[in-house]
C-alpha cells in the first residue's frame, strides 16, 4: 500500500496497476480517470505514450470519448526511466506498442516507490497475447479487465477483430478498421482461438 506522511514523502514501495481489454472497452478512459484523481490528491503525475500513436493527438492521450490528458510521447520504454524523476504516479497508455523492456521499466519504477498505471490491449487482432502486456499483467499487483460490447450480438466483447485486410501486427486504426467481438462472434468471423 502506498502511504504518505505529513510532508508528502513516499514511505513504502510503489506498485503496478494494469487496465486491459479489447479495443473500445474504456482502457484509456479508466487510465485518464485514475490519473486525474491522483492529481486531485496533489500527487505528482507523469503520463507516457508510444510516439507511434498519433491517432487523436501527437502529444495528448485521448480516449475514444475525447477525454484527454497531456502526455510525453517516447520512442522506447527506457526513456520513461529517464523522465520519471520526483514523480508519485506514472501512467502509460497503449503499452502493447512498447518494446519488451517495458515490464522491467514498470518494475523499476514500482521499486522506486512509484504507483505505475498501465493501460493496453491484452490481445492482438488474432486473439493472441500482445507485446509486453502479458508479462506486465503477471507482475502487477492489480489487474482490471474491462470489456466492450460485441458489435454483432450485444454481449460483452473480449476481442478486437480487424475488419480490413492485413497481417501486420501493429496497424493503428479505429472503428473503420476494428470492431469489438465476443468469443462466439470472433470465432464466427474467422478468429482462431
Catalytic, 176? Answer no
Q: Which three cell numbers stand for residue 88?
A: 508519485
What does each C-alpha distance from 84 to 77, 93, 94, 146 come to in angstroms? 11, 15, 18, 27
Q: Is 171 helix (H, G, I), strand (E, B) or coil?
A: coil
- Computed on alpha carbons and rounded to an integer, the radius of gyration of the chain in Å comes to 17
For residues 86 and 168, give the distance between their C-alpha atoms in angstroms, rounded to a whole number: 38
Q: Which of 94, 108, 141, 176 is catalytic?
A: 94
Round to whole Å and give the CA distance between 33 and 67: 9
Query: Quick check: 36 and 117 in contact, CB under 8 A?
Result: no
Torsion sign over Cα 180, 173, 125, 166: positive
C-alpha cell read off for 38: 491522483
Which residues does the annotation mark as catalytic? 94
Amino acid at each position: 500500500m502506498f502511504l504518505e506522511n505529513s510532508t508528502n514523502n513516499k514511505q513504502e514501495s510503489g506498485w503496478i496497476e494494469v487496465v486491459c481489454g479489447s479495443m473500445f472497452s474504456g482502457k484509456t478512459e479508466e487510465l485518464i480517470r485514475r490519473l486525474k484523481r491522483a492529481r486531485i490528491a496533489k500527487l505528482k503525475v507523469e503520463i507516457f505514450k508510444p510516439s507511434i500513436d498519433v491517432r487523436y493527438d501527437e502529444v495528448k492521450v485521448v480516449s475514444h470519448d475525447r477525454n484527454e490528458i497531456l502526455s510525453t510521447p517516447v520512442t522506447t520504454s527506457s526513456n520513461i526511466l529517464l523522465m520519471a524523476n520526483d514523480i508519485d504516479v506514472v501512467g502509460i497508455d497503449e503499452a502493447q506498442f512498447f518494446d519488451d523492456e517495458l515490464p522491467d521499466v514498470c518494475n523499476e519504477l514500482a521499486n522506486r516507490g512509484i504507483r505505475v498505471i498501465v493501460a493496453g490491449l491484452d490481445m492482438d487482432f488474432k486473439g493472441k497475447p500482445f507485446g509486453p502486456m502479458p508479462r506486465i499483467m503477471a507482475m502487477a499487483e492489480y489487474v482490471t479487465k474491462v470489456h466492450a460490447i460485441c458489435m454483432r450480438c450485444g454481449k460483452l466483447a473480449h476481442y478486437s477483430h480487424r475488419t480490413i485486410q492485413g497481417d501486420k501486427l501493429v496497424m493503428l486504426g479505429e472503428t473503420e478498421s476494428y470492431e469489438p467481438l465476443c468469443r462466439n462472434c470472433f470465432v464466427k468471423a474467422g478468429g482462431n482461438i
